[in-house]
Structure 1
Amino acid sequence: MSETGVIKCKAAVAWEQGKPLTIEDVEVAPPKVHEVRIKIVASGVCHTDQEYLTGKGMKFRPFPLVLGHEAAGIVESVGPEVTTFSPGDKVIPLFLPQCGECEQCLSPKTNLCRKNWANAQAGVMADGTSRISYKGQQVYQFLGVSSLSQYTVVADTSLAKIRSDAPLDKVCLLGCSVSTGYGAAINAAKVEENSSCAVFGLGAVGLAAIMGCKAAKANRIIGVDVDPEKFNKAKLFGATDCLNPKEHTNKTIQEVLLDMTNGGVDYALVCVGSPVVMTSAFESTRDGLGTCVIVGWSETDAISVKVEKILMGRTLKGTYFGDWKSVDGVPKLVDDYMNKKLKLDEFITNNLPLEKVNVAFEDMKNGKGICTVINLWPE
């Protein structure tokens, strides 16, 4: 650390869309009012990071930027007026804040806190600037987090304090993928006992959704993916059946599901960002009772829905971060993991140092593995 409080460290910087990240020596400024500087220990690499890098289904955000929004770390220092965190605390940064004061936070019906929302989407803090720079040039912070940096600064309303015995290289996944999929089933769909479910997309979010369906005691959980290599993993998490749409050339996947379930599933959870898959999932639900929850991320695409399908009593809804109130919900999920009520280790198929972060992106692009955890401080 310099005399000015600036920390020099390594970060994976994205300079432009479609180009590999480069490892740079960046400077991370000290936290300002209501901000916390964190030493990131471990970070997941999420599909949203990859989709932004490729430009698929995402609104433009400025470059250069540091990606990463699924992580865990340790508080290094706190800015003025921060009262709930201290140096040494174990924490999970949050791309969805919970200020506890706005209309959204005070409502039990939503978790969509809007505190500093626009600035976080634009890659800056509340004052309109980033805390990360490279040779004097501002480097933007993806979703207000930027966890592919050894140090980062986040707002104190975008941070969850967790128990001190939690393994950071495991619970980092609760910063996005596992919380999102699990909550989609438990909170958003409100899956009921003895119900039937279909989960479209068997990546980390989809597997977590299956885990949520199982926790809710659904009696039939059908995993849908074009990669049959994911089926064994899906069954480990609770899938009772698995379908590969490519094996059903004479019928649409929704027709196959309608036949399998005598009229449609009670719940469909869409854990990929494809509008075509979203439509298929919605049409696979049961008349009068079916609920389809959109979990897969897209900011620019539109889906096609037949009015008749809505009129017949189906529900179509979306979820953001699995409907968890982030600051309150994440520590409870950590407790569930520590009490062996929630799987995390089984999601992790690779661990890599920061220098090999592009391998993680390439593996994700090729559908290799489930979750890669980046170790920011290799031994």
Structure 2
Amino acid sequence: MKTSDFDFKLPEKLLAERPAEYRDEARLMVLDRKAGTIEHKTFKDLIDYFDEEDVLIMNNTKVFPARLFGNKEKTGAKIEVFLLRELDPETRLWDVLVDPARKIRIGNKLFFGDDDDLVAEVVDNTTSRGRTLRFLYDGPYEEFRAKLTALGTTPLPKYIKREVEDTDAERYQTIYAKEEGAVAAPTAGLHFSKHLMKRLEIKGVDFAEITLHVGLGTFAPVEVEDLTKHKMESERANVPQSTADRVNRAIDDKKRICAVGTTSMRAIETAVSANGYLNAYDGWTNKYIHPPYDFSIANAMITNFHTPRSTLMMMVSAFAGHDLVKKAYKEAVKEEYKFFSYGDAMLII
């Protein structure tokens, strides 16, 4: 298959600027792979598709406020810094993206906060927009991280043109987020409310957590026509032994095992054993899933509606079948489903 096979016309008005008023009242499109059917539901109807001892695999990563605004030394020029990953806690080294990049050179100092609370020095160029910063802060590490959190803002995707609002700090985060480290939300999980999770729990559905710290590379469009030539950025992943045990028990009992989001799917497919069971895992993954692909663990998937030419759409096509996904996306555009991070959801069974 070619990258252009995943192109489609997406009206800009369908890119969700805000989430649904209530998490579990987002729209839900249900694809049945075997029957080839499409149903239109509401996310809280999810409960109708799961029974006792079925397993939902959920990514418990927590988004940190990764976007900082500051000023360049001497000129006072405004700059935006997007924190990508911490390289070394001891030396306060971070990989970041800067904007405007042409003005930010090695040796420059950047100041953050009304009273220049935090200062960073540019120590390396990594890509056209990428830099390595050393934050010049001698206090305890916990104080340093607290300052970053206080000065940072919720890293909403760039397609959202409005200003970040106070409610985004809560809504651009799953209700079960606990392991801080992501610069983007695992968006399929945003639709789960406490009420829906309680109802699923009462029904006997099991929750198994993994951690995959989502990076910006997840959302990068594929620029090459030969999609096999695309390289995924590595992301940190953890599959606890307790999760592997729960999932493997469900495999033996032939239960429904649902990956909540492409990030959960990537993590479990990284940790598959030779005999098709889930291993505990702690490391990095650059797993790139596109058609054709044989999935080993999950037999169901929850995901959002993705943008054209994205690796996310490719993974969904590999799982549900390209023709069915193409039909579903055409239907989603016609029915004006909302797309991308704050958009509506799809359940594939």
* TM-score, structure 1 as length reference: 0.25
- TM-score, normalised relative to structure 2: 0.26
Does 1 or 2 have the higher relative contact order (CA < 8 Å, sep 6+)?
A: 2
